Amino acid sequence: MSAAVARRKPRDFYPYLLVLPVLLVVVPFFLLPLGVLLRNSLYRDDPRLLLVPDTTLVNYVKLLSDSYYSGIFLNSLGIAFLIALITLFIAYPLAWYMVQQKGRKLTILLWCVYLPLIVSVISRVYGWMVITADSGLINSLLIWSGLTEEPIRMLFDPIGMTIGMVHRYLPLMILPLYSALNRLDRQVLSASSTLGATGSQSFFRVILPLSLPGVFVGVQLTVAVVLSDYVLPLLLGSSRFPMVAPAIHDEALSMLRWASAAAMAVLTIVAVALVIVASNLLLRWLAPWSRAK
Amino acid sequence: MTRGRRFTWFGLYAIVVCGFLVLPILAAVILSFSSSSILSLPPPGWSLQWYEAALSERRFVSGFYMSLRIAVAASLIAGVTGTLAAVALNNYRFGGRDTLRLLLILPLIVPSIVIGLGLLQSYTLIGVNGIGFWQVTLGHAVIGVPYVVYLVLAAMTHYDIRLEKAALSLGASRLQVFSGITLPLIRTGVLAGTAFAFLISFDEVALSLFLTRGNTLPLRLVQHIQYYADPSVAAVSTLTTLASVVALVAAGLILRRGARRRAMEP
C-alpha cells in the first residue's frame, strides 16, 4: 500500500488545504476547550465569583482524598472493568460462531449486533425499565413461577444499570473480536489440529493468543465508553452509587463548582488514557508479534 | 458428528445472545402499544393512545425539530471536513500526519460530557453565551468527525492513487480529480460516515446538557422518563428507531443499485 501512496514535493500545499477545514472544527471546538478545562482545574471555586484565577492543586487533592469523590472514581472504574469482563465472556463465543457463518445467517447475526447501535439509547433504557421494573417482565416471571413472592428490586440499582450497560456495550466488544477472529489464518488452525492439538489446546495456544489484539481493543473501548456514560447511570442506576459522568454534570451545573468539575473531567481523561496506555503495554508483553504493524 | 453437535450448541448460544440484544428494543416497541400507563409487561391491553399522546405533546415535537436541525448541520460539517481530512491522510505524506490521525480519533475516546463542559467553560471564557444553536452544533460536529474519518479511510483501503495521477497528468484540475474520481470511489464511506454522524448527534445527551436549554428530543425524553415514565416515550423512540432503520435500508438499497449500474457499464 505504502508504495502506492504519492510522495509529493515538500512545497505541496494541497494536503494541508484538505486538512484545514477539519482543523478549523477540531482545534477551536475540541482541543482548546480541553486546554481551558486543564487551566480551570487549577483555579479555585468561589460561591460568588464562580472561578478565581489561581495555580493550585487543591481541587485534585480534594478529589483524591475526599471519600465522596474518590468513591465516584472507584465506582466508575470498577463498573467499567466489570462490564468489560462480562461483555468479553459473552462476546467471545458469539464472535467465534459468527466467523464460521456466511450468507443469510451471518447477515441476521450482524443485524442483531448492529441493531442496538442504531436504536436510540432512550429506547433501550425504556426497554430495560420495562423488563427490570417491579411489575416488569423478569419479576412477573419470577412471581408467576413461584420462585419469589415479592418482586426483586433491580431498577434504580447498580444491578439494573449493569444489565443495561452490558446490553449497550456488547456490540462494541463483539465487533472488534469478530474482525480479529475473521483475520485469523485458517491454515494455522488446521495445522494445529493435524499436529494433534486437542480442541482446548488449539484454543488456548493458537486462537486466543492470535485474537488478543481484538480483545484489547474491545476492553479499551468498553472501559472508555462506560466511564463517559451519562444516561444509564441517571435513568437505570441509583444516586447512592454515583458514577463519574452524572457527577461531573451535578458538580458543574447544580453545585456551580466549575474548577472542581474541570478537575474531575481532567481526571476522567487521565483515567481513560492510563487504561489505554497500560493495556497497550500489556498487549506488547503478551503478544509481541502484534507490534509488527 | 461431534462437529455438527458442537455447532448446534454454539447456534443455541448465538440465539440466546441475539435474543438478549433484541429483547429490550422489542419490549419498548410492545409497551408503546399498551393501554395502561404502568410499566408492566405483558401489558394489560392494547391501544394507540401513546402514539396520539406523543404526537400531540408539543415538547416532543419541538424537541424533534431542534434535534433534526442540529443533527443535519452537525453531520454535514463532520461529513465534509472529515472526508477531506481522510482523503489527505490516505493519499499524501505530510508533516504532522500521524498527529492529525490521532487528533481526529480522539473525540471518540474523550467522554462527551468532558467535551461539553470544556465547550461551556470556553464560551464563557471568551464572553459568548454557552447556549445556542451553533454552540451545540459545532460540539456535535466534533464527535461526528471520527466516524466519518474512520469509515472513509475504510472505504479507501483498496483505493488506487494511480487513477488520480493519471487524471492529473492528462491535464485535469485538482477539483475535477476530486469530484470526478475520488468522490465517486469513496461515496459509500462518505455516506455511511455522515449517516453515523447524524445518528450519533440525534442521540447525543451528555454534550447537549451543557449547551442547550434541555430542548433537544433526547433531553426532553430523559426529563419525561424521570417524571412520568409513561409509554409515550416508547412511542416516540419506536418512531425514531423506525425512521433510522428505514433510512439505513434505503441508503443501502440506493448504494447497491448504484454499484450494479456501474458494474453494467462497459
Say whether A119 and B42 touch across the interface (CB within 8 A). Answer: no
Read off the pLDDT of residues B97-110 as tens digits, 9 standing for 90 and up: 999 999 999 998 89
What value does the mean pLDDT take over residues A259-270?
96
pTM summary value: 0.88
Minimal C-alpha gap between A131 and chain B (Å): 7
Nearest alpha carbon to residue A111 among B28, B236, B148, B245: B245
Ordered structural domains, chain B, with CATH:
58-264 (1.10.3720.10)
Q: What is the DSSP string of chain A?
A: -TTTSB---TT--HHHHHHHHHHHHHIIIIIHHHHHHHHHTTSEEETTTEEE-----HHHHHHHHSHHHHHHHHHHHHHHHHHHHHHHHHHHHHHHHHHH--THHHHHHHHHHHHHHHS-HHHHHHHHHHHHSTTSHHHHHHHHTTS-SSPPP-TTSHHHHHHHHHHHHHHHHHHHHHHHHHTS-HHHHHHHHHTT--HHHHIIIIIHHHHHHHHHHHHHHHHHHHHH--HHHHHTS-TTS--HHHHHHIIIIIS--HHHHHHHHHHHHHHHHHHHHHHHHHHHHH-GGGGG-
**Triad A66, A67, A71: Cα angle to 5°:** 125
Check if the beta carbon of residue A184 is closer than 8 Å to that of residue A236: no
Least confident range of A128-142, A247-261, B217-231: A128-142
Percent of chain A with pLDDT over 70: 95
Candidates A33, A118, A136; nearest CB to B118: A33
Asked whether residue B80 carries a pLDDT value surpassing 60, the answer given is yes
Write phi, then psi, for A44 (nearest 5 degrees).
-110, 145
pLDDT at B262 over 70: no
Q: Tally Cβ neighbours within 10 Å of residue B49.
A: 17
Host H or E run for residue B210: helix B206-211
The per-residue pLDDT for B14 is 92
Question: CA of A186 to nearest chain B CA: how many angstroms apart?
Answer: 16
Bigger pLDDT: A146 or A79? Answer: A79
Query: What single string gives the DSSP state of each residue in B123-149?
Result: HHHTT--S-SHHHHHHHHHHHHHHHHH
Are B202 and A124 a contacting pair at CB < 8 A? no
Cβ pairs A/B, distance under 8 A: 266
Q: Residue B148 — very low, low, confident or very high, per pLDDT cuts 50/70/90?
A: very high
Per-residue pLDDT, averaged over A88-108, amounts to: 91
Q: What pLDDT score was predicted for residue A189?
A: 77
In this prediction, residue B263 carries a pLDDT of 63
Residue A244: how many CA atoms within 13 Å on its side-chain side? 33
How confident is the model at residue B2, as a pLDDT? 43
**Predicted local confidence at residue A157, as pLDDT:** 87
Domains and CATH numbers, chain A: 51-286 (1.10.3720.10)
Contact at 8 Å (CB) between A117 and A111?
no
| Residue A152 reports pLDDT greater than 50 | yes
Is residue A198 very low, low, confident or very high in pLDDT (cuts 50, 70, 90)? Answer: confident
A78/A53: higher pLDDT: A78
d(CA A67, nearest CA chain B) in Å: 22
Question: What per-residue confidence (pLDDT) applies to B266?
Answer: 47
Residue A293 pLDDT > 50:
no
Q: For A103-123, what is each residue's pLDDT tens digit?
A: 888 999 998 998 888 888 888
Of A6, A253, A258, the CB nearest to B92: A6
User: Which of B3, B8, B17, B135 should be substituted to probe chain A, the one whose Cβ sees the most A Cβ atoms within 10 Å?
Assistant: B17
The pLDDT-based confidence of A10 (bands split at 50, 70, 90) is low
- What rounded mean pLDDT belongs to chain A? 88
B residues 221-260 lying closer than 8 A (beta carbon) to A: 221-222, 225-226, 229, 233-234, 236-238, 240-241, 244-245, 248
Range of weakest confidence among B34-48, B70-84, B163-177: B34-48
The answer, yes or no, to whether residue B82 has pLDDT greater than 60, is yes
pLDDT in tens, B5-21: 455 788 899 999 999 99
**Residues β-bridged to residue A45:** A51
pLDDT at B95: 87
Rounded distance, CA A143 to CA A158, Å? 22
Answer yes or no: do B81 and A32 touch at CB < 8 A: no
A47-51, A170-174, A214-218, A256-260, range with the lowest pLDDT: A47-51
Residue B261 has a pLDDT of 66
pLDDT at A291: 60
pLDDT at A169: 94
Q: Which residues of A touch B121 (CB under 8 A)?
A: 33, 36-37, 40, 258, 262
Min Cα separation B261/chain A (Å):
23
Among residues B141, B117, B198, B74, the alpha carbon closest in space to that of A27 is found at B141
Q: What is the pLDDT of residue A21?
A: 97
Q: Is the separation of the CB atoms in A101 and A109 below 8 Å?
A: yes
- The confidence band for A200, taking pLDDT boundaries of 50, 70 and 90, is confident
List the one residue out of B129, B108, B111 whose CA is nearest residue B211.
Answer: B129
The predicted structure's pLDDT at residue A120:
87
Compute the average pLDDT of residues B122-146. Answer: 94
Measured CA to CA, the distance from residue B39 to residue A134 in angstroms comes to 9
**Span B232-259, mean pLDDT?**
82
Give the tens place of pLDDT for each residue, B119-132: 999 999 999 988 99
Residue B139, pLDDT score: 97
**Any chain A CB within 8 A of the CB of B44?**
no
Query: According to the model, what pLDDT value does residue B4 have?
Result: 47
Q: What is the mean pLDDT of residues A266-271?
A: 96
Write phi, then psi, for A228 (nearest 5 degrees). -100, 0
Partners of residue A113 in chain B, C-beta under 8 Å: 21
Q: Between A47 and B219, whose confidence is greater?
A: B219
What is the C-alpha separation between B185 and B168, in angstroms, rounded? 16
Cα separation, B7 vs B2, in Å, equals: 9
Q: Given this model, what pLDDT does residue B9 score?
A: 84
